Structure 1
Amino acid sequence: MKFTIIAALAPLFVDAYLITGDTVNCRSGPGTSYAVKKTYTKGQDVKISCQQAGTSVDGNNIWDKTQDGCFVADRYVKTGVAGYVTEKCGVKTCAAPAVNQATVDLIAEFEGFRASVYIDATGHPTVGYGHLCTQAKCAEVKYKIPLSQADGKKLLADDIKNYEKCVTSMANSNAKLNANQYGAVVSFTFNLGCGAAQGSQMMKRLNAGENPNTVIANEFPKWVYGNGKVLPGLVRRRDAEVALAKKATSTAAIPPKC
């Protein structure tokens, strides 16, 4: 796979995200001490080109640079994750590696396909292969609902890209993952969410340089509970992810090669 230096390219704006605060200030820098350049209102869409750390707002220190060239606190932007969803501002980074087909197949199998919007076990509107909707009636989905299976796979590919970026951004230089180990972590993160993965002992151990197969085999089976009960579906998924991670491959993934 060929990787590119993101900072060498023109800013790439990712999908639009909703503003969740009533009146959100967009500032000249990533912090509350910077001058206000403009304001956004609740429900307004903004596109972001990069993110960086700044003043913590309700425990979240990420700030999003918008299409207007100013920064808003990520706390008030509905990206759907607690971590980074795009490149860090001013930092030369390689594109997040794409997961292999074995990973895509694993995620698709365990998420299952639903053409129409439904309410998942946690009470969230969902469609396709486990896409959690961010707008009423999943209005953010760019494909016609009910989804065809082909469009469902396109939506799944779009969603997986966000989790590839999330895993790549939260892994430091000590974490060394091959393509199958990386795929297992992306599947885990897709299922649990970036916030849970980022704060997990699993990620801390990987970033401490521990053996990935040991960490994955130890930590993944801990995440099989729903409402305090062991869920057989999660047990099967964690087992499949561990098996994928243990499958030998010479293809490296993390850290990405530019």
Structure 2
Amino acid sequence: MKLTVLAVLASSLAPALASYPITGDNVNCRSGPGTSYAVKKVYAKGHGVTLSCQTTGTSVNGNSIWDKTSDGCYVADYYVKTGTNGYVTKKCGSTSTCVAPKSNQATVDLIAEFEGFVNHVYTDATGHPTVGYGHLCSNSKCSDVKYKIPLTKTDGKKLLADDMKRFEKCITAMLTSKAVLNLNQYGALVSWSFNMGCGAAQTSTLVKRLNKGENVNTVLSQELPKWVHGNGKVLPGLVRRRNAEIALAKKSGSAKALPVKC
């Protein structure tokens, strides 16, 4: 949205440490600019925040700007009364706070095995248009895929690698330093979020328990078996996948994955 002349003047004359009130109840301030990032603080309505910079992220009610506060976390600008829907301070230099670890080969193999390879567009068990190794398309023709369809297996693997980066990043972002995982445990979570979605993972009891510092394998063994439903029914394929993810997490000998230095 374009700023008016008055808004531009107001922002340029505002003091560097201007405080802006929170307009919503119990507004989350997250580790990154999006709803898939871990919650670091919660602001009460009317609480004043100062901004160090602003950046783009997940759109909240049509506003994709996120404000980095002096507390070092990000809050959706929609919930901050700055007087405009545009920028009121400098843009942040980076939209990412952490570099996500790359999944190990065991994780890649697990995802590829359960997703299977289909070179054409099909509808998966939950009703989503899909292609390749479980790539969920944005529309029925999969026009978001940059590779030619029907896919070759080579291009399918490239598409899988592209897709996995997103889930590696969201798992890394949503877990706090209390969640200490090796690459196999991390891989089990990447596979789970790849299958169920980052949004579902972010709000899950599983992530909340890990962020409290509970034993990783205990949490995964108790929580992953709950994620076996599609359209209200238990799907045998999901039961097998959750069991495989738990088995992967319990394998020893893999290097440390999380937490990472940001």
TM-score range, shorter chain: 0.5 to 0.7
Quote the residue 1:167 is aligned against: 171
User: Is 1:224 equivalent to 2:228 in the alignment?
Assistant: yes
Q: Equivalents in 1 of 2:102, 2:2: separation in Å?
A: 32
What is the alpha-carbon distance in structure 2 between the residues aligned to residue 111 and residue 76 of structure 1?
33
1:109 to 109, 113, 116: 113
SS of 2:141's equivalent?
helix
Q: Unaligned 5+ residue runs, structure 1?
A: 1-24, 28-34, 37-53, 78-87
Structure 1 residue aligned with 2:238, among 222, 227, 234?
Answer: 234
Residue of structure 2 aligned with 1:206, choices 188, 204, 210: 210
CA deviations over 1:162-185 (Å, ceiling 9, x no partner):
000010010011111100000001
Q: Which residue of 2 aligns with 1:156?
A: 160
Compared CA separation, residues 219 and 70, structure 1 to 2 (3 A):
closer
CA shift, 1:138, in A, is 1.3
State the percentage of identical aligned residues.
63
Flag the 1:75–1:145 CA change in 2: closer, same or farther, 3 A: farther
> Quick one: distance in 2 between partners of 1:143 and 1:231?
30
State yes or no: 1:94 paired with 2:98. yes
Q: What letter matches 1:190 in structure 2?
A: F
Asked whether the 8 Å contact 2:174–2:202 carries over to 1, the reply is: yes
**Which of 66, 70, 74 does residue 59 from structure 2 map onto?**
74
**AA matched with 2:162:** D
In structure 2, C-alpha distance between the alignment counterparts of 1:193 and 1:243, rounded to whole Å: 21
C-alpha distance in 1, partners of 2:201/2:215? 17
Equivalent residues of 2:98, 2:172 under 8 A apart:
no
Q: Distance in 1 between matches of 2:2 and 2:227?
A: 38
Query: Residues 142-199 of structure 1, C-alpha deviation per residue, up to 9 Å, x if partnerless?
Result: 1111000010000000000000001001001111110000000110111110111111
Aligned counterpart, 1:181: 185
Contact 2:55 2:95 in 1 (8 A): no
Task: Tell me the equivalent position of 1:255.
Answer: 259
Code of the aligned partner of 1:143: Y
The SS at the match of 1:115 is strand
Q: How far is 1:228 from its partner?
A: 2.7
- CA distance in 1 between partners of 2:2 and 2:260 (Å): 32
Paired residues, what number?
197
1:17-48 CA deviation, whole Å, 9 max, x = no partner? xxxxxxxx378xxxxxxx69xxxxxxxxxxxx
Higher Cα Rg, which structure: 2
Matches within 5 A, 1:53-68: none
Report the 3-state secondary structure (helix = DSSP H, G, I; strand = E; otherwise coil) of the residue aligned with 1:137.
coil
Classify 1:234/1:134 alpha carbon distance in 2 versus 1 (closer, same or farther; 3 Å): same
Q: Which amino acid aligns with 2:256?
A: A
Deviation string for 1:53-87 (max 9, x for gaps)?
A: x977xx998857xxxx964752468xxxxxxxxxx
Contact 2:179/2:258 (CA < 8 Å) preserved in 1? yes
Shift of 1:127: 0.6
Query: Amino acid of the residue matched to residue 221 of structure 1?
Result: P
Inter-partner Cα distance in structure 2 for 1:200 and 1:174: 16
Instruction: Please report how far the alpha carbon of residue 119 of structure 1 lies from its aligned counterpart in structure 2 after TM superposition.
Output: 1.5
Amino acid at match of 1:220: L
Contact 1:213 1:245 (8 Å CA) reproduced = yes
Residue 143 in structure 1 maps to residue 143 in structure 2: no
Per the normalisation by structure 1, the TM-score is 0.68
Give the 3 Å change call, closer, same or farther, for CA 180–228 of structure 1 in structure 2: same
Structure 2 residue aligned with 1:192: 196
